[in-house]
Amino acid sequence: MSLKPKRTVAELKELRALTGDENGAQRVAWSDTWLKAREWFTSKLTGLPVEEHYDAAGNHWVTLPGESEKALLIGGHLDSVPNGGWLDGALNVLAGLEILRRVNYERGHDRGHEFRGRPPVTIRLVDWADEEGARFGRSLLGSSAFAGTATIAADRVRTDREGTRMEDALRRCGVEIDRFHEATAEQANAGAYIELHIEQGPVLERMGLPLGVVLGTKGVERHAITFHGQEAHSGSTPMNARRDALAACAKLALEIRAIAGKHPDAVCTMGSVKTFPGIVTAVVGRCEATLDQRDLDAGTLAMMLREARKASERFAAEERCTVDWSRIWQIEPIAFDARMIELCDEAVRETAGRSHRMPSGPLHDAAEVSRAGIPTVMMFVQSLGGISHNKVEDTREEHLELAVRAFDGLASKAIAHLS
């Protein structure tokens, strides 16, 4: 067989050894280790008749020309979070590379395949720049530039923990943020986009399935919530005289579980709580929290936000406090293309026997590509324990190999569809 899934697994291990340590992957975007990973990937292109270049946002494009300029895009990202996993993002890129190798091999051999010579359509593999947003807090940076949704004014002044500005870090890597808009030129002739990713959750493992079909990415409502009470001495203030901001916040933290529980795929998370003055001898006068709400349905997401706001006001009144809300960030739900979903489902069933359709809670570059109007779909492979962004992130090797085969099947179906 010209497709060699075991080679993909071996290369993932090679990349892990090159760019990781005892704490996990260290391929944070715009770092020297990330640049080393990109150089390593370039070395893997030796012998392939491809054109490669970096666009204005630092996305790395590898193009195998076809009979038609219409292109199938295959995407992933080599960057990781600090102390991250060996598969997140890198699996996508290296599985795509294996597809390029397979297509190139078959086009040069008369082996009874449906196409010889050039493939019917052009195939383009992209390593997106800074999917994770780990250093500057801006996820999907390169793909948003591609999609034309970049937020340059807000992003250029972002700083990392050392105070380095994003604009300066990008310039060090040869990328000028003012030229981001030029990356939209890469949309030309794009007919479809596919992406393989680890699930990063426990659903497929609990169902005993290796692979799944992604229906889209959930919309996100992210807010800062501040409860205002009254600081007071913890020893001399009777319980019925307190205006405890933490008490009101704690009630909301429990209520959001019930709000999300009304909807099968919804999630609500209060991931950060800060109290002031934050000492053991004082009643909390101010409590600041963050709330993250996600669902694939825009109506459900809006309903959950209304319910959380109403609940916060009720709990604030019960504790004789006030509450303020401030939006941190928002993105609408992104539904993937119906025809591409069907092709992905066919590829999964033909490879693994069974398929499961599911939304993605985490965001992915595929969402930005879909926002650009390009027919898009993602395939998930099972994550052990549902863990990612962690050094223990893992997937069974037989499932990784199965995923490469299924993803290649999806690519073949997408090529036939486009041609």
Share of the chain above pLDDT 90, in %: 95
- pLDDT for the residue 116: 55
Q: State the Cα–Cα distance between residues 402 and 252, nearest whole angstrom.
A: 43
Distance of CA 168 to the CA centre of its chain: 24
Q: For the residues of 74-128, what is the DSSP string, one character each? A: EEE-----TTB-SSTTHHHHHHHHHHHHHHHHHHTS-SS-S--SS-SEEEEEEE-
Residues 6+ apart with CB under 8 A from 316: 227, 248, 322, 323
Taking residues 48-77, what's their average pLDDT? 97
pLDDT in tens, 217-275: 999 999 999 999 999 999 999 999 999 999 999 999 999 999 999 999 999 999 999 99
- pLDDT for the residue 1: 61
Confidence of residue 93 (pLDDT cuts 50, 70, 90): very high
353: left (phi over 0), alpha (psi -120 to 50) or beta: left
Give residue 136's identity as a one-letter amino acid code.
F
Both tokens of 276, joined, read 């002031």
Q: Give the DSSP H/E element, type plus range, for residue 188.
A: none
Judged on CB neighbours under 10 Å (0-12, 13-18, 19+), 149 is middle
- Cα–Cα–Cα angle for 108, 109, 113, nearest 5°? 110
pLDDT in tens, 95-113: 999 999 999 988 776 444 4
Asked if residue 49 has a cis previous peptide bond (ω within 30° of 0), the answer is no
Q: Give the phi and the psi of residue 245 in degrees, each rounded to 5.
A: -65, -35
Residue linked to tokens 């934050």? 278
Q: Give the DSSP H/E element, type plus range, for residue 35.
A: helix 32-43
pLDDT in tens, 343-359: 999 999 999 999 999 99
Please say whether the beta carbons of 78 and 27 come within 8 A.
yes
Share of the chain above pLDDT 70, in %: 97
Strands 68-76 and 121-127: parallel
- pLDDT for the residue 329: 83
Among candidate residues 160, 165, 162, the one with its CA nearest the CA of residue 134:
160
- pLDDT for the residue 176: 98
Q: State the Cα–Cα distance between residues 238 and 49, nearest whole angstrom.
A: 78
Taking residues 25-51, what's their average pLDDT? 97
pLDDT in tens, 279-328: 999 999 999 999 999 999 999 999 999 999 999 999 999 999 999 999 98
pLDDT in tens, 131-150: 999 999 899 999 999 999 99
Q: Go through the chain and tell me how many residues it has.
A: 419
- pLDDT for the residue 109: 61
21 in helix, strand or coil?
A: strand
Asked if residue 277 has a cis previous peptide bond (ω within 30° of 0), the answer is yes
Q: State the Cα–Cα distance between residues 317 and 345, nearest whole angstrom.
A: 50
Other CB atoms within a 10 A radius of the CB of residue 94 amount to: 27
- pLDDT for the residue 118: 86
Q: Would you give the DSSP letter of residue 135? A: T
Give residue 79's identity as a one-letter amino acid code.
D
Is the pLDDT at 114 greater than 70? The verdict is no
Please count the CA atoms within 13 angstroms of the CA of 377 that sit on its side-chain side: 26
Q: State the Cα–Cα distance between residues 45 and 49, nearest whole angstrom.
A: 9
Please count the CA atoms within 13 angstroms of the CA of 283 that sit on its side-chain side: 24
Q: State the Cα–Cα distance between residues 383 and 332, nearest whole angstrom.
A: 26
Q: Give the DSSP H/E element, type plus range, for residue 218.
A: none
